[in-house]
């Protein structure tokens, strides 16, 4: 699973401790993945935290992934990140929408 944090504006970014922000994101990933790892122990899911643009990070991560899956709960059919990943990914991509 990949989490991407876009850098804050320069004036704010100078005050942000990147290690703390990265570690907090990694802890969130671990907690989100924990029940899924327990339920599906044979499925491998890594954890990576990137600082940068989501399309760049997901396209880079796709080089070593079996599948890139993602979505945000939005009303539009395909957002800019999904569109960018579809064009730049180095492997299969699935855009999955949550259902009610």
Domain boundaries, the chain: 1-52, 53-100
Q: Please, what sign has the CA dihedral across residues 35, 41, 43, 45?
A: positive
- Per-residue pLDDT at 60: 86
- Per-residue pLDDT at 13: 62
- Per-residue pLDDT at 92: 84
The tokens of 61 are what? 């991560």
pLDDT at 91 over 90: no
pTM above 0.95, yes or no: no
pLDDT at 42 over 90: yes
What average pLDDT does the segment 4-20 reach?
Answer: 69
Percent of the chain with pLDDT over 70: 77
What average pLDDT does the segment 29-45 reach?
Answer: 89
What average pLDDT does the segment 20-24 reach?
Answer: 80
**Residue that wins the pLDDT comparison between 13 and 59:** 59
């Amino acid at each position: 699973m990949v989490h991407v944090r876009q850098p804050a504006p320069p004036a704010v970014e100078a005050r942000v401790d990147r290690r703390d922000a990265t570690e907090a994101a990694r802890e969130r990933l671990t907690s989100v993945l924990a029940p899924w790892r327990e339920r599906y122990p044979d499925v491998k899911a890594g954890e990576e935290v990137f600082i940068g643009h989501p399309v760049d990070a997901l396209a880079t991560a796709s080089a070593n992934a079996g599948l890139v899956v993602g979505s945000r709960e939005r009303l539009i059919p395909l957002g800019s990140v999904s569109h960018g990943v579809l064009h730049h990914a180095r492997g299969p991509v699935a855009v999955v929408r949550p259902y009610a």
